[in-house]
Amino acid sequence: MRVEIWSDIACPWCYVGKARFEKALEAFPHRDQVEVIHRSFELDPGRAKGDVQPVLAMLGKKYGMSQAQAQAGEENLGAQAAAEGLDYRTRDRDHGNTFDMHRLLHFAKEQGRQDELIQILYRANFAEERSVFTEGDERLVELAVEAGLDADAARTVLADPAAYADEVRADEREAAELGANGVPFFVLDRAYGVSGAQPAEVFTQALTQAWGNRSPLKLIDDGGAQACGPDGCEVPQR
């Protein structure tokens, strides 16, 4: 079974939702037969690469919140994250463009290190004092190396704005086609969708239902075609 997760590194509920989903997946009896793929979704696709601002200022501008309201929301997110065993800085975080991170995640997918990298990016953005937005490409290269990727290869990807850009845009178009207008958005076997950072029990229910309702293979065979099997290949008879 395949589970695709549309998310953004700048999305705190994606950070929390990933932990809740993984809690459900860990207890799922067929977890070794579940493939998880992370898909790209930008919460702020129009933001320029160098446009970085404090999270509280961004929330105030985007949602019309007061400073106190925005801070209260961050405190609530911090409590939700802590309940899942996650570190979360409720003050002095910043917000910026995540397109390069998504490009790097597609590169990591090719190397079999996508899940490692996305978790490291989440941790760096939500739990660490150093910014993932203001230190340039070398900060992302450092995190890529921590995820097991080659530094020079990661640096090459980041230096080329076209590298994996089409893959990111394709993910985003697909999200729109599936009706996902927010993240996290989980799609199970292209048959079931789960929106938001649901409790682990909801993910457990979704995994169980999707697994049980998988369509069995329908065999089309008129009995006359030759084939190869464990005992060898059939020899046509004249």
Q: What is the DSSP string of the chain?
A: -EEEEEE-TT-HHHHHHHHHHHHHHHH-TTGGG-EEEEEE--SSTTS-TT--EEHHHHHHHHH---HHHHHHHHHHHHHHHHHTT-----SS-EE---HHHHHHHHHHHHTT-HHHHHHHHHHHHHH-SS-SSSS-HHHHHHHHHHTT--HHHHHHHHH-TTTTHHHHHHHHHHHHHTT--SS-EEEETTTEEEESS--HHHHHHHHHHHHHTPPPPPP---S----EETTEE-----
Among 119-133, 152-166, 190-204, 208-222, the least confident range: 208-222
pLDDT for residue 213: 86
pLDDT band of residue 236 (cuts 50, 70, 90) is low
Residue 146 or 223, more confident: 146
pLDDT for residue 13: 97
Checking DSSP bridges between strand 53-54 and strand 94-95, what pairing results, if any? antiparallel
Residue 221 or 93, more confident: 93
| CA dihedral sign, ordered 46, 51, 55, 60 | negative
pLDDT tens digits, one per residue of 199-228: 999 999 999 999 998 766 565 655 555 556
Tokens of 106: 């597609």
Cα–Cα dist 102/40, whole Å: 6
pLDDT tens digits, one per residue of 1-10: 999 999 999 9
Tokens of 68: 């106190």
pLDDT tens digits, one per residue of 45-88: 999 999 999 999 999 999 999 999 999 999 999 999 999 999 99
- Does position 94 have pLDDT exceeding 80, yes or no? yes
pLDDT band of residue 22 (cuts 50, 70, 90) is very high
Paired with 7 in beta bridges are: 40
| Arithmetic mean of pLDDT over the chain | 93
pLDDT for residue 235: 56
pLDDT for residue 218: 60
Per-residue pLDDT, averaged over 181-186, amounts to 95
pLDDT for residue 70: 96
Q: Give residue for tokens 């702020």.
A: 44
- Does position 24 have pLDDT exceeding 60, yes or no? yes
- Does position 237 have pLDDT exceeding 90, yes or no? no
pLDDT for residue 189: 95
pLDDT tens digits, one per residue of 7-21: 999 999 999 999 999
